[in-house]
Amino acid sequence: MKEEPLLLLSDLQKLINQVVLIDYTIIILGGDDMARTKKILAPTYTELIVPTYNALLKLGGSGTNNEIYEQVIKDMKLSDEAVDESHLGNENQTELEYQLAWARTYLKNFGVIVNSARSVWSITSNYTSGANLDPKEVIAFTANKNAKRRAASGKKVVNNPEKPDDGIAENDETEYPEEIKPWRQRLSEVLQNMDPYGFERLAQRVLRECGFTQVEVTKKSGDGGIDGTGKLKINGIFSFNVAFQCKRYKGAVGAGDIRDFRGSLTTDIEKGVFITTGSFTKAAKEEASNPGKQQIDLIDGEEFINKIAKYGIGVREVITYEIDEDFFLKI
């Protein structure tokens, strides 16, 4: 009888902390639980292709990331658990946001939608009247295009369990959705490791760039939940007294944090701004816009990074060129 080879300790060590993506179930090997599983509750990017397109149709043909996000949640009747689930590779982003980013990217590559510099997505002229989209066809288009490009360039495709298996080579930033490009994830880590007071001063700078005036950061302690104050003037006529709070946070900020912040606002404050490096739960968003109460504007980690990039605060844009190899092959 042939003996089965023993599993060496060195081989076992290679399995520790590996993450394998199988049919959207995350299997984590290692630690005391040799096979802990985490089922992804949010819809996959494949399941979001058509809902994303339909959401834009309902929004009148165009919409921001947040408007699409809210419309998809409404149309698909997603549970709070599915909406608030954190992405395994980035706790500052929800799984739904991650999957929607890929859905938008595939639709863009297929020619269904385009986006402006202000992150407004719109349906192209060929699809404004509605179309029966086949998600598999939409995704296959990008996979085939990238496979041809890789074959022509001689680059090897590396399967990455953190993103869809679409024939895209790992570490190729040009192929990532804007919301999840590697530089954004690195900046998110930098923000997380900032000194708390330094992060407040960064928020002060960002708010000034956004048009706020008289922005002041409170003292390091005893601020009662308010990290700073300022004024916002609209169209040079209307002005509001604003207070803001900053949280370097991993994961999602809940409704309780929003209520606590609102409770710290004095009567002369007309609006609050809550800034976090993480995300906000569905309940937190509902609490922030609760009718009859002081409105709280929310800036999550992704939006905060958008503003840092827009105003060039501590970052600089590097311009590169993408080669259309199909053009040179067919000319």
What's the helix, strand, coil split of the chain in %, to 5?
40, 20, 40
Share of the chain above pLDDT 90, in %: 35
Looking at the structure, do residues 173 and 218 belong to the same domain, yes or no? no
- Find all residues with CB under 8 Å of 323, minimum gap 6, and list them: none
pLDDT higher than 70, residue 301: yes
Question: Which CATH number fits the domain that encloses residue 81?
Answer: 1.10.10
Distance CA(306)–CA(297), nearest Å, equals 16
Looking at the structure, do residues 219 and 267 belong to the same domain, yes or no? yes
Q: Which residues pair with 42 in a beta bridge?
A: none
Looking at the structure, do residues 62 and 168 belong to the same domain, yes or no? yes
pLDDT higher than 70, residue 283: yes
Tell me the average pLDDT of the chain. 79
Distance CA(181)–CA(168), nearest Å, equals 13
Please count the structural domains in the chain. 3
Size of the chain, expressed as the number of residues it contains: 331
pLDDT higher than 90, residue 153: no
Q: Which residues pair with 86 in a beta bridge?
A: 94
Alpha helices in 195-298 (DSSP H): 196-209, 255-264, 282-288
Answer yes or no: is 318 within a domain: no
Domain span at 122: 45-180
Answer yes or no: is 222 within a domain: yes
Looking at the structure, do residues 26 and 88 belong to the same domain, yes or no? no
Looking at the structure, do residues 221 and 160 belong to the same domain, yes or no? no
Buried b (16+ CB within 10 A) or exposed e, 284-311: bbebbeeeeebebebbbbbbbbbbbbee
Tens-place pLDDT, residues 312-321: 899 888 777 7
Looking at the structure, do residues 35 and 59 belong to the same domain, yes or no? no
- Find all residues with CB under 8 Å of 327, minimum gap 6, and list them: none
Tens-place pLDDT, residues 199-250: 998 999 999 998 899 998 886 544 457 899 999 888 777 888 999 999 888 8
Alpha helices in 159-211 (DSSP H): 182-192, 196-209
Answer yes or no: is 324 within a domain: no
- Could you give the C-alpha distances from 65 to 42, 97, 137, 301, in angstroms and in order? 17, 9, 23, 14
Task: Indicate the SS3 state at residue 311.
Answer: coil
Looking at the structure, do residues 202 and 96 belong to the same domain, yes or no? no
- Could you give the C-alpha distances from 72 to 23, 59, 86, 99, 130, in angstroms and in order? 22, 11, 17, 12, 17
Answer yes or no: is 329 within a domain: no
Looking at the structure, do residues 126 and 151 belong to the same domain, yes or no? yes
Q: What is the pLDDT of residue 136?
A: 92
Q: Does the pTM exceed 0.75?
A: no
Looking at the structure, do residues 158 and 58 belong to the same domain, yes or no? yes
Structure tokens that stand for 134 in this block: 């086949």
Angle between helices 196-209 and 301-310 (to 10 degrees): 60
Task: Indicate the SS3 state at residue 98.
Answer: helix
Looking at the structure, do residues 168 and 198 belong to the same domain, yes or no? no
pLDDT higher than 70, residue 327: yes
